[in-house]
Chains A and B, each alone.
Chain A
Amino acid sequence: MFDEKKEVNNIEKYLLFELGKELYAIELLEVKEVITPPETTPIPKCQPYVCGLMNLRGLVLTIVDLRKKLNITQGPITPENAVIIFDLKNRLVGGVVDSIVKVINLKKDAIKPVPDDNTTGHHLKGVIEHENTLCLLIDANKMFESVPQKKAA
Chain B
Amino acid sequence: MDDLDKEFKQDFLTEAKELLDSTERSFLELEQQPDDSSLINNIFRFAHNLKGTSRAVGFGQIAELTHNAENLLLKLKQGEMKANERTVNALLSFNDKVKEMVEGLQQDLDKQFEIAGLVLELEQICSNKIETIENETSDGAEGTDSDSDSPEESELVDVAPPSELFEEHPESTPEASPIIDEVQLAVDYELAKNGRQNFDSDDHDFPKVAASADLAQSNKDDQVEINPDALKDLEELYGISKDAEVTAIVKADVKVEAKVDAHINAREENKILVKPAVANESTKVASKEPLKEKEKEKEKENGKEREDETIRVSLMRLEKLNDLVGELVILQSVAEQALLQSSNSKIARSLGKLCKDIQDLSMSLRMVQVGPTFQKLNRTVRDTSKLLNKKVELKIIGETTEIDKIVLEKLGDPLVHIIRNAVDHGVETPDVRLASGKNETGIVEVMAFHEGNFLVIQVTDDGKGIDPKKITQKAIEKGILSKSQTITDQQAVELVFHPGFSTKEQVSEVSGRGVGMDVVKTNIESLGGSVKIQSRPGVGSAIRMVLPLTLAIIDGMQVICGNQHLIIPRIQVHEVTKLDPARLTIMTGRTPYYRLRDEVIPVFNLSKDFSIPSKMEPEIALIVRTGKATYAVAINDVERQQQVVVKPPTTETLSTKGIMGTTILSNGSPALILDLLEIYKNKIAKESISSVKTAGAA
Contact = CB atoms under 8 A, between A and B. Distances in A.
Contact of B655 (A40, A60, A152): A152
A41 B671 contact: yes
B335 to A, nearest CB: 13
Interface in B648-695: 650-656, 659, 662-664, 668-672
Contacts of B670: 40-41, 53-55, 60
Interface string A38-54: 01111111110010011
A39 B669 contact: yes
Given A41-B669, A152-B655, A58 B650 contact: no
B564 interface: yes
B652 A60 contact: no
A6 interface: no
A54 to B, nearest CB: 6
B611 interface: yes
B639 interface: no
Which of A44, A46, A61, A62 lies at the interface centre, i.e. has the most chain B CB atoms within 10 A of its CB? A44
A61 B671 CA distance: 11
Given A53-B672, A58-B330, A58-B331, A41 B652 contact: no
B267 interface: no
Which of A39, A43, A54, A147 lies at the interface centre, i.e. has the most chain B CB atoms within 10 A of its CB? A43
Which of A41, A62, A64 lies at the interface centre, i.e. has the most chain B CB atoms within 10 A of its CB? A41
4 closest A-B pairs by CB? A58-B327, A53-B670, A62-B652, A151-B655
Interface in B115-153: none
A148 interface: yes
A147 B664 contact: no
Contact of A41 (B324, B564, B655): B564
Contacts of B272: none
A21 interface: no
A68 to B, nearest CB: 13
Given A46-B652, A58-B331, A60-B663, A41 B326 contact: no
A8 interface: no
A26 interface: no
Contacts of B288: none
28 contacts: A41-B565, A42-B612, A43-B653, A43-B672, A44-B564, A44-B610, A44-B611, A45-B611, A46-B653, A46-B655, A53-B653, A53-B671, A53-B672, A58-B323, A58-B327, A59-B323, A59-B647, A60-B647, A60-B650, A60-B663, A60-B664, A61-B650, A62-B651, A62-B652, A91-B650, A93-B650, A93-B651, A151-B655
B326 A43 contact: no
Contacts of A46: 652-653, 655-656
A144 B672 CA distance: 21
Nearest to A152: B655
A60 B648 CA distance: 9
A44 B652 contact: no
A112 B611 CA distance: 45
Contact of B656 (A40, A43, A59, A64): A43
A36 B470 CA distance: 66
A41 B659 CA distance: 14
Given A55-B670, A60-B670, A62-B650, 20 more contacts: A41-B565, A41-B670, A42-B563, A42-B564, A44-B612, A46-B656, A53-B653, A53-B672, A55-B664, A57-B327, A57-B331, A58-B326, A59-B323, A59-B647, A60-B650, A62-B651, A93-B650, A147-B652, A148-B651, A148-B654
A40 B664 CA distance: 12
Nearest to B661: A60
A50 B652 CA distance: 8
A60 B401 CA distance: 33
Given A58-B331, A62-B650, A91-B651, A41 B672 contact: yes
A58 B323 CA distance: 8
Contact of B653 (A40, A55, A59, A62): A62
A44 B672 CA distance: 10
B672 to A, nearest CB: 7
B611 to A, nearest CB: 4
Nearest to A64: B652
A93 to B, nearest CB: 7
Nearest to B674: A44
Which of B611, B655, B668 lies at the interface centre, i.e. has the most chain A CB atoms within 10 A of its CB? B655
Contacts of A60: 647, 650, 662-664, 670
Interface string B320-359: 0001101110110000000000000000000000000000
B327 A147 contact: no
Nearest to B610: A44
A79 B647 CA distance: 28
B346 to A, nearest CB: 25
A53 to B, nearest CB: 4
Contacts of B564: 41-42, 44
Interface in B606-663: 610-612, 647, 650-656, 659, 662-663
A99 B575 CA distance: 49
B672 A148 contact: no
Contacts of B327: 57-59
Nearest to A147: B652
Which of A42, A58, A62 lies at the interface centre, i.e. has the most chain B CB atoms within 10 A of its CB? A58
Nearest to B612: A44
Nearest to A45: B656
A39 B664 CA distance: 13
Contacts of A54: 670
A123 to B, nearest CB: 15
Given A41-B670, A42-B564, A58-B327, A148 B664 contact: no
A9 to B, nearest CB: 26
A90 to B, nearest CB: 9
A147 B656 contact: no
B359 to A, nearest CB: 13
B330 A45 contact: no
A55 B668 contact: yes
Nearest to B611: A44
Interface in A50-107: 50, 53-55, 57-62, 64, 91, 93
Given A53-B662, A58-B327, A43 B669 contact: no
Contacts of A40: 670
Contacts of B655: 46, 148, 151-152
A46 B669 CA distance: 19
Nearest to A47: B652
Contacts of B563: 42
Interface in B256-305: none
B326 A44 contact: no
Contacts of B653: 43, 46, 53, 62
A148 B652 contact: yes
B649 to A, nearest CB: 9
Contacts of B328: 58
B633 to A, nearest CB: 14
Nearest to B651: A148
A61 B323 CA distance: 13
A152 B652 CA distance: 11
B659 to A, nearest CB: 8
Given A39-B669, A59-B323, A44 B664 contact: no
A44 B66 CA distance: 56
A43 B670 CA distance: 11
A89 to B, nearest CB: 11
A12 B610 CA distance: 45
A88 B441 CA distance: 59
